[in-house]
């Protein structure tokens, strides 16, 4: 059964509570005893849209759901927590990104795995490394090789 990693981000409507609530919902998708969530971090928004700081984290679990069924479940949780797609790269109550699905590489119109931005985003790499410091990405790159001190310095532990 694949182990999956999901990035969580929020910067509206009590972001920490959004992540707590999302973790409870994600745990329902997990095989018993497999759910884990990283510490949360505060991060400066990436992109040009002025908006509040984000709270970010990463969750991991094993699941019986196939990739698209998992994506549907993630989008359902986003909707349940009031996600509206108003502005591209704008603020959001909850963003759930499927980072990794086992060692699979998936390229379909709806789903790209590994997530396209994950190798450069401090707010993904740091909490991912909290959960899985020895992780090797599907491309063969060790996660540790991507994590520079400068990237770590971008985040504030909550």
Residues assigned a catalytic role: 83, 92, 95, 97
Q: Which residue is nearest to ligand ROI (CB)?
A: 9
Q: Which of 38, 56, 60, 63 binds ligand ROI (CB under 6 A)?
A: 56
Q: Which of 22, 26, 35, 43 binds ligand ROI (CB under 6 A)?
A: 43
One character per residue 113-142, x = contact with ligand ROI (rule: CB under 6 A): ----------x-------------------
Position 9 contacts ligand ROI (CB under 6 A)? yes
**What whole-number distance in Å separates Cα of residue 79 and Cα of residue 94?**
9
Position 45 contacts ligand ROI (CB under 6 A)? yes
Question: Which runs of consecutive H residues, i.e. helices, occur in the chain?
Answer: 15-27, 67-80, 122-131, 143-146, 149-153
- Is residue 110 within 8 A of residue 71, CB to CB? The reply is yes
SS3 content of the chain, % helix, strand, coil (to 5): 30, 25, 45
Position 52 contacts ligand ROI (CB under 6 A)? no
Position 78 contacts ligand ROI (CB under 6 A)? no
DSSP secondary structure letter of residue 92: -
**What whole-number distance in Å separates Cα of residue 121 and Cα of residue 114?**
13
Binding segment for ligand ROI (CB under 6 A), chosen from 25-33, 45-53, 78-86, 134-142, is 45-53
**What whole-number distance in Å separates Cα of residue 124 and Cα of residue 152?**
11
* Residue with Cβ nearer ligand ROI (64 or 75): 75
Position 112 contacts ligand ROI (CB under 6 A)? no
């Amino acid at each position: 059964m694949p182990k999956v990693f999901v990035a969580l981000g929020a910067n509206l409507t009590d972001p920490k509570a959004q992540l707590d609530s999302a973790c409870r919902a994600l745990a329902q998708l997990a095989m018993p005893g497999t759910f884990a969530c990283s510490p949360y971090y505060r991060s400066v928004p990436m992109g040009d849209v002025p908006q509040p700081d984000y709270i970010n984290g990463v969750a991991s679990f094993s699941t019986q759901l196939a990739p698209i069924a998992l994506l549907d479940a993630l989008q359902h949780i986003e909707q349940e927590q009031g996600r509206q797609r108003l502005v591209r790269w704008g603020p959001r109550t909850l963003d759930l990104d499927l980072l990794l699905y086992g060692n699979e590489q998936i390229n379909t119109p709806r789903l790209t795995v590994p997530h396209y931005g994950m190798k450069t985003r401090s707010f993904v790499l740091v909490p991912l490394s909290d959960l899985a410091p020895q992780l090797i990405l599907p491309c063969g790159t060790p996660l540790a090789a991507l994590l520079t001190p400068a990237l770590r310095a971008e985040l504030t532990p909550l």
